[in-house]
Amino acid sequence: MTASDQQRLGKTLWAIADQLRGAMNADDFRDYMLAFLFLRYLSDNYEVAAKKELGSDYPKFAADDARVPLAVWYANNPGDVVDFEKQMRRKVHYVIKPEHLWANIANLAKNQSGDLLDTLRDGFKYIETESFESTFQGLFSEINLGSEKLGRSHADKNKKLCAIIKKIAEGLKEFSTDVDALGDAYEYLIGQFAAGSGKKAGEFYTPQQISTILSRIVTLDSQEPKTGPVKHLGSVFDFACGSGSLLLNVRQQLRKQGGTIGKIYGQEKNITTYNLARMNMLLHGVKDTEFEICHGDTLTNDWALLRETNPAKMPKFDAIVANPPFSLRWEPKEELGEDVRFKNHGIAPKSAADFAFLLHGFHYLKDQGVMAIILPHGVLFRGGAEERIRTKLLQDGHIDTVIGLPANLFYSTGIPVCILVLKKCKKPDDVLFINAAEHFEKGKRQNVLTDEHIDKIVETYQQRPAKIERYARRVGMDEIEREGCNLNISRYISTAVAEEEIDLKATHLDLVQIEKKFRMPPPSTTRFSRSWAWLRFRPGTPLILQSDERHKIIPPERRKGGGNHRIRLRSGETASIAHRGQPRRLARNTTDRERVFDRKDSRRPHRYAGDRRE
């Protein structure tokens, strides 16, 4: 499927969601929509594998036949079902009963069957508890099929679900042959729901453009980025993984370069988002044995895997990426002072847990690993406990790069953010600053980083130049310490635009030439024989009429009306007054309606020379 088809699929599903949700909250409807898309993916993937496994024994029906082929095979071969399911667990790592397959669910919805609601309940429960070798308990816990938002009575709920599933089935029909596209459609819908949910979006989604920057950085060789991407990452960890989009982006970037990831680890506090992440992994073809997502609080370190005290067994990760909640208020307890994650650097203040998240991830980073984390700009310059933590990280040589990003890139906030790249063992004894805050395209809702902007950021990190004017600079620790370990990017990279130098001598000569030009009478014109000019100037000033044919001076006593005067001008004739020994032009009869101002010898600008014929 082409990229345009994938986008079209996503838009089709989003239109269905927008049409059907009615008065239902977008977040609630999201859970139903994504759960049904997940069921469709599992079903299609399973049926493709079953068809390959059964070969010629797989039942074949006409396109308009509503029967489910696998259900017919199960009915005709009851003695072979157990062996078949064992084989399927080895091949695709899960099993789905024929009655729970999407094809059967769609048929029930199409026929407005009263059994749809109960069949969905049974199917979701089976997938959670029995489909996979690894338990996915609670995977559909946020899908409340008994919610009154679907309807008051059982029949109303069943009817509503029939309408939703029927529309989804119709929208997916033309894309039914491509299983892989459903993962991209799922990701697209998450992004669309994020855009519509405002501040809540930060809980579960990192914009793809920012995910790509982090992913491309951590997949480069940690010690020698110039050598390019690594071929294998043993493990990658996101301790605030949301829907898992950032982890999947790391996997995608590495696969583009022909690389692989050993295992993906994530942690998420929000139960709904935690379930989205698990579905997202499976939808993108990550086997249940290739990832581990934990539901728990990162700051209190709820995950038993990470609380291992034996250094030999404590997990360490090759790459860590994260987009934690910005400046989250928290309540650190006294015992956290002895927590291995914080005791060497200090505890972040109650008002902002940014450094608490950073230190948590950094503690589990391998010595040769790399960590990239998105944080608000405040972490670069705030004082107090944060200043002490920042100073310790700098003095120990752990902060490698500071990248400033434009404002209004996120759905959840409009503030500008930064990316900190940290390493436990880094070769350079300086810090690279990249100021990308002015490099973006203006969007309707959010600003956008184009491929060119992203490439420039990553290439600058990779090549680590000494200086790029107004964009990047390597700064030694001596200078940083003189600045009080303040990492505010503007202290090290000037964004001021130098004023253009003016050649005063040349400008003076130009002005002299312009003055001479206006003192000389312009070429005569023969288009009109005579015209009127209405003039206003200071009384007592002689009027000069000049052309190629005559030069006439009209003394003040021969004029009428004080400072107001009306006079006929011949073709090409100029009316002037004497000012400081030089003629000052007031009007001229030309083919253009030329407006002439005399600021010194009149109370206000006089009128232009009239062009009407006599």
3-state secondary structure 234-254: EEEEECCCCCCHHHHHHHHHH
395, 386 contact by CB (below 8 A) = no
What is the predicted pLDDT for the residue at 7?
66
Mean pLDDT of the chain: 82
Residue range 13-36: mean pLDDT, rounded: 72
DSSP class of residue 83 equals H
The C-alpha atoms of residue 399 and residue 371 are separated, in whole angstroms, by 10
Residue 549 burial by Cβ neighbours in a 10 Å radius (0-12, 13-18, 19+):
exposed
Determine the Cα angle at 293 with ends 288 and 296, to 5°: 150
Give the number of other CB atoms < 10 A from CB of residue 432: 21
For residue 38, give the H/E element and its range. helix 26-54
Inform me whether the pLDDT recorded for 388 exceeds 90.
Answer: yes
Q: What is the pLDDT of residue 602?
A: 40
Alpha-carbon distance 23 to 171, whole Å?
22
In the chain, the largest separation of any two C-alpha atoms, in whole Å, equals 129
- H or E stretch at 588: strand 582-588
For residue 32, give the H/E element and its range: helix 26-54
For residue 598, pLDDT over 60 is answered with no
- Is the pLDDT reported for residue 185 higher than 80? no
**pLDDT reading at 400 higher than 70:** yes
Q: Is residue 266 scored above 50 in pLDDT?
A: yes
Q: What residues does 399 pair with on adjacent strands? A: 422
Lowest-pLDDT choice from 81-95, 104-118, 125-139, 464-478: 125-139
DSSP assignment of 118-147, as one string? HHHHHHHHHIIIIIBSS--TTTTTT--TT-
Strands 564-570 and 530-536: what pairing? antiparallel
- Of 5-14, 120-129, 268-277, 465-474, the poorest mean pLDDT is in 5-14
Tokens representing residue 263 in the block: 């295992």
Which of 137-151, 187-201, 491-505: highest mean pLDDT? 137-151
Query: Residue 610: pLDDT above 50?
Result: no
Higher pLDDT: 128 or 610? It is: 128
pLDDT at 587: 66
Q: What is the mean pLDDT of residues 557-586?
A: 62
Q: State the average pLDDT over residues 277-299.
A: 91
Of the chain, the percentage scoring pLDDT greater than 70 comes to 76
- pTM value is 0.74
Query: What pLDDT was estimated at residue 554?
Result: 67
Please state, as a whole number, how many other Cβ atoms lie within 10 Å of the Cβ of residue 576: 23
d(CA 309, CA 314): 7
Alpha helix positions (H), 327-421: 354-363, 385-395
Tokens 């005569």 — which residue? 524
Q: Is the pLDDT of residue 594 over 50?
A: no
DSSP annotation of 314 reads: S
Residue 604 has pLDDT above 60, yes or no: no
Those residues whose C-beta lies under 8 Å from the C-beta of residue 295, and which sit 6 or more positions away, are: 267, 268, 269, 271, 274
Q: What is the mean pLDDT of residues 551-559?
A: 63
Gap between the terminal Cα atoms of the chain: 78
Average pLDDT over residues 566-595: 60
Q: Please tell me the predicted confidence (pLDDT) of residue 558.
A: 57
Residues 6+ apart with CB under 8 A from 81: 74
**What mean pLDDT is predicted for residues 452-469?**
95
pLDDT computed for residue 375 by the predictor: 95
pLDDT at position 463 is 95
Amino acid of residue 242: G
Phi, psi of 94 (to 5 degrees): -160, 170
Lowest-confidence segment of 55-69, 185-199, 300-314, 497-511 by average pLDDT: 185-199
Q: Which residues contact 603 (CB under 8 A, 6 or more apart)?
A: 536, 538, 563
What is the predicted pLDDT for the residue at 497?
A: 62
- The whole-number pLDDT of residue 613 equals 34
Q: Which of 422-431, 539-548, 563-572, 588-597 has the lowest mean pLDDT?
A: 588-597
Residue 181 predicted with pLDDT over 80: no
Say if residue 341's pLDDT is above 60: yes
Cβ atoms of 393 and 345 closer than 8 Å: yes
Is 422's pLDDT higher than 70?
A: yes
CA distance 160 to 228: 52
pLDDT at 445: 73
Express each pLDDT in 424-452 by its tens digit.
Answer: 998 888 999 999 988 888 877 788 899 99
Question: What is the model's pLDDT at position 199?
Answer: 44
Which residue has tokens 């993916």? 41
Confidence band, pLDDT 50/70/90 cuts, at residue 609: very low
- Element spanning 291, H or E: strand 291-295
Burial 191-229 (b: 16+ CB within 10 A, else e): bbbbbbbeebbbbbbbbbbbbbbbbbbbbbebeebeeeb
Tokens (6 digits) for 55 = 């070969």
Would the pLDDT of 60 be above 50?
Answer: yes
Compare 170 and 222 and report the one with higher pLDDT. 222
Q: Is residue 419 within a helix (H) or strand (E), and if so which, with residue range?
A: strand 417-422
Q: Between the CA of residue 529 and those of 565, 587, 614, what are the distances in Å?
A: 20, 16, 8
Whether residue 103 is predicted with pLDDT greater than 70 in this model: the reply is: yes
Domains in the chain, CATH or no CATH each: 3-196 (1.20.1260.30), 201-491 (3.40.50.150), 521-588 (no CATH)
Q: Has residue 465 got a pLDDT over 80?
A: yes
Q: Lowest-confidence range among 192-196, 399-403, 486-490?
A: 192-196
Q: Is the pLDDT of residue 251 over 90?
A: yes
- Structure-model confidence comparison of residues 43 and 590, the more confident one: 43
Task: State the pLDDT confidence band at 560, using cuts at 50, 70 and 90.
Answer: low
Q: For 229, which DSSP code?
A: B
Q: How far apart are CA 579 and CA 213, in angstroms?
A: 69
Q: Which helix (H) or strand (E) holds 28?
A: helix 26-54
pLDDT at 543: 65
Assign 456 a pLDDT band (cuts: 50, 70, 90).
very high
| 66 pLDDT tier (thresholds 50, 70, 90) | confident
Phi (first) and psi of residue 369, to 5 degrees? -90, 180
Stronger pLDDT, 518 or 396, i.e. the higher one: 396
Token pair belonging to 356: 């608490």
Distance, CA of 584 to CA of 580 (rounded, Å): 9
User: How far is it, in rounded angstroms, from Cα 436 to Cα 459?
Assistant: 12
Q: In the structure, what pLDDT confidence band is assigned to residue 534 with cuts at 50, 70 and 90? A: low
Read off the pLDDT of each residue in 105-131 and give the average, rounded to a whole number: 91
Place of tokens 């709920």: 157
Q: What is the mean pLDDT of residues 135-160?
A: 83
- Mean pLDDT on 383-404: 95
Residue 19 pLDDT > 80: no
Question: Given this model, what pLDDT does residue 26 score?
Answer: 67
612 pLDDT above the threshold of 50:
no
